[in-house]
Structures are given as structure tokens and as C-alpha cells.
Amino acid sequence: MNDKTRKRIEIGVLSAPALIMFFTFVILPVFLAAYYGFYKWKGYGTPSVNGEFVGLNNYKIILTDPSFQEALGHTLFVVVASLVIQGPLAILFALLLNQKFKGRALIRTLIFVPYVVSEVIVGTGWSLMLQSTGAVNALLEKIGIDGADWISDPNIAIWTLMFIISWKYIGFAVILMIAGMQAIPEELYEAARVDGAGFWRMQWSITLPLLGPTIRIWAFMSIIGSLQLFDLVYIIWGQYVSSTAGTSTMATYMVREGRLANNYGYGSAVAVVIFFISLVIALTYQRFVLNRDLDGALTDAKDKKRRERRAQKEAAKLAKKSVRPIAMSSEVA
């Protein structure tokens, strides 16, 4: 057994557990959900025996259902609003917390705490505080401001949701941005100071460009998380209030029309639609935004060999160009 074969066997043995887990808990459920989506099925027994085959009818209903279209619109709004709100704020907070001052470590910890708190605790706490008789309205009334129906009013509820999402998840973005800033060489800032650049000029010309890969990775994670948003909406608004308050998402629609309506076949079809929407958005983002950041990290051996051959050809051309003048000079001599 040569070294190449031994290396392949080692790679296969080491990667087999991860591949088995990935197939069992990711790939297989997707195919099962797609299979269940062809049936009107109540969730017990097997769909082929205890269900009714409806073909693509579930998918047709999903794509033409105004409730799903509304939930899709809310989800896409959360995706965009999360990027617009959290991104700039996270960069500003990171710039502040990257400076040296007393109590910096404590503030970093406090701003990260909401991210590690369970969604159940966050949802329950904000739900109690945002009730019409809750702590928020009581505080506003004490300072002479009328309270509002933060949860049920369709004109306010979506912004309430965005506030809670930003409050919970911005800490992760801030820590990620700080890590990216600390990876920037200090020599660049020192050279800029020598050239007379001010603080904001250095942030615009040095920090933001070099922070680009970190921002793009965070944005990708934010998009995927927003597309899967479920816990906070379900805990605070419930499956029915969310649809009337204008905060329903694709995930809450799936639970409401699938499990609660006792139609698991339809719910599985919704899950497949959500999966493909997320997949298309993720692949598009990776192709047009993350491509340069991941170049070389997600390429196969053929691409590597192709780059090596191209480099060898370029080196050969340079060698020929350098040899030719030497030969000519020897002939003249």
C-alpha cells in the first residue's frame, strides 16, 4: 500500500462519521419531507397507507396562498432590516469597544449576554414587559407618554420584533466585528497617522475595507438566521396572533398550517419550500458576495492542480524571457 492510498483511506475513515451524521440528520430529512409533501397526511402510520396522494397540489396551494405570501414578505423584511439595523450599529459599537478605556471588558460582556440567553427566556420576558399593562407602558405613562399596543398593533408589531431581534443578536455581531478589527495590523494605522490621517479617515480607508470579509460572513449568517426565524415570534405572538399582527414568518406558517392543522403532509411541503428558498438565497450570496472570501477554501483538487499548472506555465514563460537576452549577449561576445 503506497502513501497516496493510505492517505485516502485515512481521510475516508476520519470523514465517515461526519458524513454519516450529515446524511442522517440533513440530507435524509430533506428527502423524507419532499416525499411527505406529496400526501395529505395526518402524521400517523405511513403516508402511502394512511394518507392521500395529492401530487404537487400541496405546493400549488403554498405558492398561491396569500397567507404564505404575507409570511414570506415578513421574513424578507426581517432579513433586510436585520442587515440594515444591526450592521451599522455593530460596526459603531465595535469601533467604540475596540478602544482602550476603563470598563471595556465589562461592557463587552454585557452587550454579549443577550445573545447567549435562551430564546424562551427572551421571548417570555419581552412578552410580559410589552403587554398593554406591562412594564414598558407603565414606565412611559410615568414620564407622561401614552403607551402603545406593542404586540397586537400591525403598524407597530413588526418594529417591536425588529427591536427584540436587534437587542438579542447585535452582541454577536459586535464581538465578531471586534475580532475582525483586532486582526488588522497596527502598522497600517501608524503609517496613516504619520501621513496625517484622522480617526474617521483611518476607519473609512483602513478598517472598513479590511473588515469586509468579516462583515460579509456576518451578513451571510444573519440572512440564514432570519430566514429560519421562529422561536421569538412563536413565543411572543403565538401561531395565530402573529398572522393578524403582521409578524408571521415562513416557519410559523409551517407550524400553523402543518402541525396545528393536523396536516403534516402540507407542513412538510412548506418545509421543502423554505429549504429551497434558503438554498437559492445562500448559493446566490455565496456566488456573488462570498466567492472571493472563500476562494481556495471550498475548491477541489482539480482546481488546485489547474492553478498549479497555470503557475508553472507562467514560470516557464518568464524563464524563457530571461534566458533569451543572455543567449543573445553571448552570441555578440
Phi, psi dihedrals of residue 55, rounded to the nearest 5°: 65, -130
Average model confidence (pLDDT) across the chain: 86
Residue 251 near residue 271, CB atoms below 8 Å: no
Residue ranges per domain, the chain?
Answer: 72-262
pTM: 0.81
The predicted-structure confidence for 80-104, as pLDDT tens digits, reads as follows 999 999 999 999 999 999 988 888 8
Show the CA angle centred on residue 139, arms to residues 138 and 141, nearest 5°. 65
Region 22-28: mean pLDDT is: 91
Fold held by 72-262 = MetI-like fold (1.10.3720)
Query: Given this model, what pLDDT does residue 329 score?
Result: 47
DSSP 81-126: HHHHHHHHHHHHHHHHHTS--TTHHHHHHHHHHHHHS-HHHHHHHH
DSSP 10-63: HHHHHHHHHHHHHIIIIIHHHHHHHHHTTEE--SSS-HHHHSEE-TTHHHHHHH
The predicted-structure confidence for 46-62, as pLDDT tens digits, reads as follows 888 888 899 999 999 99
**What percentage of the chain exceeds 70 in pLDDT?**
86
Sign (positive or negative) of CA dihedral 258, 262, 264, 269: negative
The predicted-structure confidence for 224-264, as pLDDT tens digits, reads as follows 999 999 999 999 988 667 777 788 999 999 999 888 888 99
